[in-house]
Structure 1
Amino acid sequence: MILIKPIHILRPPQLHLQNCLIQLESRNFQTKSLRIFNTSVSRFSTSLKMARSALDEMSATGAFVRTPSTFRSFISRDPDSQFPAEAGRYHLYVSYACPWASRCITYLMIKGLDKAISYSSCKPIWGRTKDTDEHMGWIFPVSNDEEPGAEPDTLNGAKSIRELYEIASSNYSGKFTVPVLWDKKLKTIVNNESSEIIRMFNTEFNDIAENAAVDLYPPHLQAKINEVNDWVYDGINNGVYRCGFAKKQEPYDEAVTKLYEALDKCEESLSQQRYMCGDALTEADVRLFVTLIRFDEVYAVHFKCNKKLLREYPNIFNYTKDIFQIPGVSSTVNMEHIKRHYYGSHPGINPFGIIPQGPNIDYSAPHDRDRFPK
């Protein structure tokens, strides 16, 4: 007896699925036959291998499970290292929409490294990264005039972030994510893990940083920072994605519960001190801020994180305004890019790509955090 089971391939709804794949299983044979109509086997294999994004990271229970980053080399202040800290050698590819990439731009501004390390942003809405398959991801504009805030890739002439990964590794089969810390000299990716990139920016470039005295990961606070990072990442940074990308009710409910437990914990902590680890700005604050600044504008609606809005937490809300007003930080927040990306790049969540008009919060408004000592 032959059983026919359809294998469903996730596609953006605006793309019509023309390829029909059926898998034939026989009780008497261990082999599996794949038939592909209207396309070649090689093209389908390439598409299946390469079409990866966060939308594909689902467990059998319908929960979102983020996979780790791949490129993990480290820039060092040691001039003899493979990747020495040199002014003008490195370029940071980002999207203003992405909170993980925004951590890195924020560090460039706070540390005064924006002249030593160049950076550029891709377009906010995902597009086709190649003509040979249907992968959707980060792409560059053709010209500076095409997309305000985004720039063409003048270093490598790449049309997409995907092309950068393929330049760095011809057999790469992971996700094509930002940030990408690029070595102009060796023409390769140094690192694509934001938590490691910000550590490099904090210490390894101090010989050329304008604000070298600023230490966002001081030795006496490292244990506390690590502790805060752990529960903030799990409950809030990644927690909003676990809410938004959940495909079943139970994992969504679990993620929402954990998210608001973490936000309540933040509110309590910030009622007693100016920043998450005391009276000084640290890495923990930057990592939290990039999620908070997107919360009411995007996550509350798009990711169904609507039990309570950020501005209903007086301490968290004023804290977010406080950090936004640190010199240089506001330039890293492009709310138009943020909203256009989320509402325009996840058709499974927002099929018509409609962008809500509000709430247009003014984070430059006065805050009350000066009541705490610095």
Structure 2
Amino acid sequence: MGKLVEGVWHDVWYDTNKSGGKFVREDAGFRDWVTNDQQAKFQPESGRYHLYVSLACPWAHRTLILRQLKGLSEHIDVTVVSPDMLSEGWEFTEPEPLFGATRLHQIYTRAKLDYTGRVTVPVLWDKKTQSIVSNESSEIIRMFNSAFDDLTGNTDDYYPTHLQSDIDKWNEFIYPNINNGVYRCGFATSQSAYEEAFTALFSALDQLEAHLTTSRYLVGEALTEADWRLFTTLIRFDAVYVGHFKCNQKRIADYPALNAYMKELYQMDGIAQTVDFYHIKRHYYFSHVGINPTQVVPTGPVLDLASPHGRERISL
């Protein structure tokens, strides 16, 4: 993964010795917003913003999904990093189109010359101010959800006011236990830290299975951002987290409701094209040499994502 320290790149992994073997994720370093406020530094304009993503990363995947759902593809262009994240961190297969950079950390130091922190995706870049707006996925998807509605005419709302309290509760449950929970399993360097994360992960999945047996989506009949935040972990689970991150108590395929729910989301218009299993498997198995030193990438599993999901029969 590596990080920048006062603008200088260092190839260093997470120091889990300080946390008893537990993986602790670093907060995002850029947290500004695109808003419709006439006084705002970052305002919604077609062609102004550029999104840097990895097709392997679940956090970046959220932003690609909201960009697709909200009709922003023609307004916000995208550069995809290589799935291989090695000694130089995220790299571009070819020089990226704005500056000819070959490493994502060069984009970070272009925004802040003495930046200190992890170099992560997604990154929302502003061409007008020549800076990073945000590298926090949960906030980028909120911007995509509403800030550009006047531009696109797409008023679909995945964070409606009357459901925000329920959505926030689900996000607060899913993030530590599932979204970050799989990483807490995979990056743990002590048995106790791994088992703590493992227990929390599968307890949370069991609770979701029970809930989704009678509820179409997380918040009843409304498809919200909470569903998409969960989906990007579920779609990677059987392909990489079961084996690579030792999350092997059950597969998503072993949860009837969760599996059908995941398939329904995958089959929605435009979503399958945001999922790339080559990038997903290649990144995790090839890049994390501390976990998989041979860098051998599994051929399987075969995932059944196209068959009927039957979720339309679920009602409150």
Same fold (TM over 0.5): yes
Distance 1:101-1:331 versus aligned 2 partners, 3 A rule: same
Q: 2:131 pairs with 188, 205, 210, which one?
A: 188
Which amino acid letter does the alignment assign opposite residue 139 of structure 1? E
Q: Tell me the CA shift for residue 370 of structure 1.
A: 1.2
Q: 1:364 pairs with 284, 301, 306, which one?
A: 306
Q: Tell me the CA shift for residue 80 of structure 1.
A: 3.4
> After superposition, what is the alpha-carbon deviation per residue over 1:98-128, rounded to whole angstroms, capped at 9, x for unaligned?
0000000000011111111111211001144
1:164 aligns with 2:122: no
1:82 aligns with 2:41: yes
- Alignment partners' CA distance in 2, 1:313 and 1:128: 37
- Alignment partners' CA distance in 2, 1:83 and 1:213: 20
Please name the residue that 1:304 is paired with. Answer: 246
Gaps in structure 2 of 5+ consecutive residues:
none
Runs of 4+ residues over 6 Å off in structure 1:
45-49
Please name the residue that 2:297 is paired with. Answer: 355
Q: Tell me the CA shift for residue 204 of structure 1.
A: 0.6
1:56 aligns with 2:8: no
Structure (1 or 2) with the larger CA radius of gyration: 1
Q: 2:271 pairs with 309, 326, 329, which one?
A: 329
Q: Tell me the CA shift for residue 49 of structure 1.
A: 6.2
Please name the residue that 2:228 is paired with. Answer: 286
The alignment yields a C-alpha RMSD, in angstroms, of 1.9
Contact 1:123 1:140 in 2 (8 A): yes
Please name the residue that 1:70 is paired with. Answer: 29
Q: 1:295 pairs with 234, 237, 241, which one?
A: 237
Q: 1:252 pairs with 194, 211, 232, which one?
A: 194
Which amino acid letter does the alignment assign opposite residue 136 of structure 2? E
- Alignment partners' CA distance in 1, 2:31 and 2:277: 29
TM-score normalised by structure 2 residue count: 0.95
Which amino acid letter does the alignment assign opposite residue 123 of structure 2? V
User: Identical aligned pairs, as a percentage?
Assistant: 47
Please name the residue that 1:114 is paired with. Answer: 73
Which amino acid letter does the alignment assign opposite residue 61 of structure 2? S
Q: Tell me the CA shift for residue 78 of structure 1.
A: 2.3
Write the mapping of 1:121-136 to structure 2, written as runs, cut at 5 A. Answer: 121-129=80-88
- Alignment partners' CA distance in 1, 2:50 and 2:28: 18
Q: 1:202 pairs with 145, 168, 181, which one?
A: 145
Gaps in structure 1 of 5+ consecutive residues:
1-9, 12-44, 130-136, 143-151
Count the aligned residue pairs: 314
Contact 1:50 1:174 in 2 (8 A): no
